[in-house]
Amino acid sequence: MLTVNGGFPGPTLHVYKGDRAYVNVHNEGTYGVIIHWHGVNQPRNPWSDGPENITQCPIKPGKNFTYEVIFSAEEGTLWWHAHSDWTRATVHGAIIILPDKGSTYPFPKPDAQDGDVKQIIDNATATGADPTLSDAYTINGQPGFPNNCSNESSYKLPVEYGKTYLLRVINAVMNEEMFFGIAKHNLTVVAQDGAYIKPITTSYIMITPGQTMDILLTANQTSSYYYIAATPFVDSNAPFDSTNTSAILPILCSNASCGGPDGNRLSASLNNISFVTPSIDILQAYYRYRSLPGVFGNDFPSQPPYVFNYTGDVGNNTLYPSLGTKARLINYGEAVEIVFQGTNVGNAENHPIHLHGYSFYLVGTGYGNFSNTSSPSTYNVNDPPEVNTIGVPKNGWATIRFLANNPGVCISVYALSFGKTRYLGYGHCPHCEEWNHRGNKFAATSS
């Protein structure tokens, strides 16, 4: 199992808001690996963002690379992880960004804070099939009761009665949105994806893969033991052989005939364009040739090739995307709106989406098909949450907005990893027309 400094999870990076960190990564594994600083905008520094074969080549076995990690407006909890195939499953850790020295939290200060998965994806891509579907969940590296592979007492979080604690929750799970809660206690969510939000008090949270939340917990119950529990949200009919934390045995395909639909390979796509691994990284292509044609196509479509009932019964003719490595160029300072439409194609499920290099505003979400005429009227343009990762609902839609003010390459990524088909589009990012028809409303923060 590939880990960082022998630990699982890996080491926590502690910084102050606005800091600059240099992290030297030496690869002692047997295959290439890179590190992505999830949610760190890296202003004007895309070279250290980390996506494999996009802004850098993988760090070869026995070699090293020093990352320059530039923090700007982020504050709260983010995380770092490998961005090479399924190495993210074991190569990840937390990033804790403290307030500026001399300042404090915008809420009362808490009393306290506190197998080789590469082989699985190799076996899957060799046949074009889905990988095996065993699930194993841990909290801080321990699966908990009733698993024999836990420590003698499993993970414990000692607290004192009457005190309030700041919990930093990171969903580092590969493919599942998770419910998280603590028995007989309420949770107050105060930050999400490195940005503060209006506090929300709830008995449990639902957190998508790649997402982070800062949560206040007040120990206000009588002295006893209370379960901290996490369980997956399953919205598809995939034949999971186990959905509890004791499932740690991978089940591989028994023969090469285990493939995708009609013997084809499974892949992801956006606007019917799937992904092809490039032979040159996109920044080198742009700066060497001063353009993208011939290396990266710059004609990524703004709309799906044809409109249909995305959430209804669909035929097999929707299963076959075009292969390509396409980008969209936009101007510095341009306002961008993207609508992500979930579909019922194949065995659909909720899908997490993460944007590299930016935080964005989630201005709208809903179930069913997005409507250009009626859906925008439901947008929240007054105080939308500022995040870097969202979950697009199965058979639903989500709309995001951001300003293109970080030159370089931004990448919209499927957080559900399968091979190298998780890139939705890249370049300077997909963009749409100006939204004068939306009343010139655009979500913005005050400084």
Compute the average pLDDT of residues 171-195: 87
| Bond from prior residue into 146 cis (ω within 30 degrees of 0) | yes
The DSSP element (H or E) to which 283 belongs, if any, is helix 282-289
- Which range among 29-38, 69-78, 213-222, 296-305 shows the weakest confidence by mean pLDDT? 296-305
Find out whether 78 and 169 touch, Cβ atoms under 8 Å. Answer: no
pLDDT (tens digit per residue) in 198-228 = 999 999 999 888 899 999 999 888 877 788 8
| CA neighbours closer than 13 Å in the CB half-sphere of residue 278 | 26
Phi, psi of 57 (to 5 degrees): -80, 155
Closest by CA position to 398, among listed 195, 162, 208: 208
Name the band, by pLDDT with cuts 50, 70 and 90, for residue 444.
very low
Closest Cα to residue 125, out of 417, 363, 437, 380?
A: 417
Sequence-distant (≥ 6) Cβ neighbours of residue 306 within 8 angstroms: none
Residue 443: pLDDT over 90: no
CB 165 within 8 Å of CB 112: yes
pLDDT, residue 401, reads 93
The angle formed by the CA atoms of residues 134, 135 and 137, to the nearest 5 degrees, is 155
Is the pLDDT reported for residue 20 higher than 90? yes
Q: pTM, whole model, 2 decimals?
A: 0.52
Q: What percent of the chain has a predicted confidence (pLDDT) above 90?
A: 21
SS3 state at 398: strand
pLDDT digits (tens, 9 = 90+) for 110-119: 765 555 555 6
Least confident segment among 261-265, 393-397, 412-416: 412-416
The confidence score (pLDDT) of residue 286 equals 57
Looking at residue 415, its amino acid is A
Is the pLDDT higher at 112 or at 374? 374
User: Contact 397/375 with Cβ under 8 angstroms?
Assistant: yes
Average pLDDT in the 158-185 region? 85
Question: The dihedral of CA 284, 287, 288, 290: what is its sign?
Answer: positive
Domains, the chain: 13-101 (2.60.40.420), 105-260 (2.60.40.420), 267-438 (2.60.40.420)
pLDDT tens digits, one per residue of 268-319: 666 666 666 666 665 566 555 555 455 556 666 677 777 777 777 765 555 5
Question: ω before 46 within 30° of 0 (cis)?
Answer: no
Angle at 99 between CA 24 and CA 207, to 5 degrees: 80
- What are the C-alpha distances in Å from 256 to residues 122, 128, 253, 419? 13, 9, 7, 17
Q: For residues 126 and 103, give the distance between their C-alpha atoms in angstroms, rounded to a whole number.
A: 53
- CA-CA distance, 376 to 37, in Å (whole number)? 32
What would the DSSP string read from start to end of 101-164? TT---SSPPPSEE---HHHHHHHHHHHTPPPP-B----BTTB--TT-TTS-TT-------TT-E
